[in-house]
Amino acid sequence: MRLANACRSAWYHGKTLWLFTASDIKSIVIPTMAFGLFSTLSGPVLGFEDVNPLYLVGRSMILFWWAWMNLLLLCINNQRKAEDIQEDRVNKAWRPLPSDRLTISQAEKLLWGAVPVIGLITLCTGGFPSIQDLRDQAGDSLRGRPTLPISIGDGNARWTVIVPILFWSTFPPFFWRLDVGGYGLTVLIGAFTIGRLCFLRTSEGDRTTFKIWSLWLVSIYSLPLIKMYYTRREHL
């Protein structure tokens, strides 16, 4: 009896979460997964080896989970206000709040609870949780947006960006087997970005840091081209 009740409860709450996102799956999650899958399957055309089917299935599940969790956070935030509920009573009465599956208070608690969970998932999958949110804390605080810097504190949120930068500044050059010079681009820009994150903690400073962080991403994307240049030079 207890097991049956637990299963019914899990099904009910799982369906509630799904209903938050149901109307946006086709426009957000599916295109995201299609981009990832098609890019992976086209590997041989780009000069990469075929991907093991089991590996592809596993990564697809991770991709779906990551995309859906981020969509869930967005949907809860967009559907929890009184005016949003009134609109949904007309257009999408099956959504959790207009159908009284949970209250506004419960939705807000769910939203605040989901933020650190999604931040952890993003960190574990190699992402950079909300570096853009560092520059917008004043406005987000006024609007009651539970962004990562507001939820866990400015200092802690910065570390969720710094740690991945440390890793991704060094691992890609190692993966591509570049020499010391090949590390220079990502390491120097990454170190400069980390320095700004640590010492320039103003809104204007964070806006500039975000632009430099974007440049750092481009430096990582350029590593295959640098590898190709080194390889061709060795064969001259």
For residue 151, what are the domain limits?
Answer: 128-236
**What pLDDT score does 179 carry?**
83
User: Is residue 35 domain-shared with residue 150, that is, in the same domain?
Assistant: no
pTM for the structure as a whole: 0.56
More confident of the two residues 57 and 120:
57
Q: What is the mean pLDDT of residues 119-126?
A: 64
Residue 146 has pLDDT above 70, yes or no: no
Whether 121 and 4 map to the same domain: the answer is yes
Out of 82, 103, 125, pick the residue that ends a domain. Answer: 125
117 and 1, same structural domain?
Answer: yes
Q: Are residues 3 and 112 in the same domain?
A: yes
Residue 199 CB coordination number (10 Å): 8
Instruction: Indicate if 134 and 179 belong to the same structural domain.
Output: yes
Phi, psi (deg, nearest 5) at residue 24: -110, 0
Report the percent of the chain where pLDDT is more than 90: 12
pLDDT tens per residue across span 25-78: 887 888 878 777 777 776 665 566 677 778 778 778 888 888 888 888 888 888
Q: Which of 73, 107, 125 is the last residue of a domain?
A: 125
Answer for the pair 99, 76: CB distance below 8 angstroms, yes or no: no
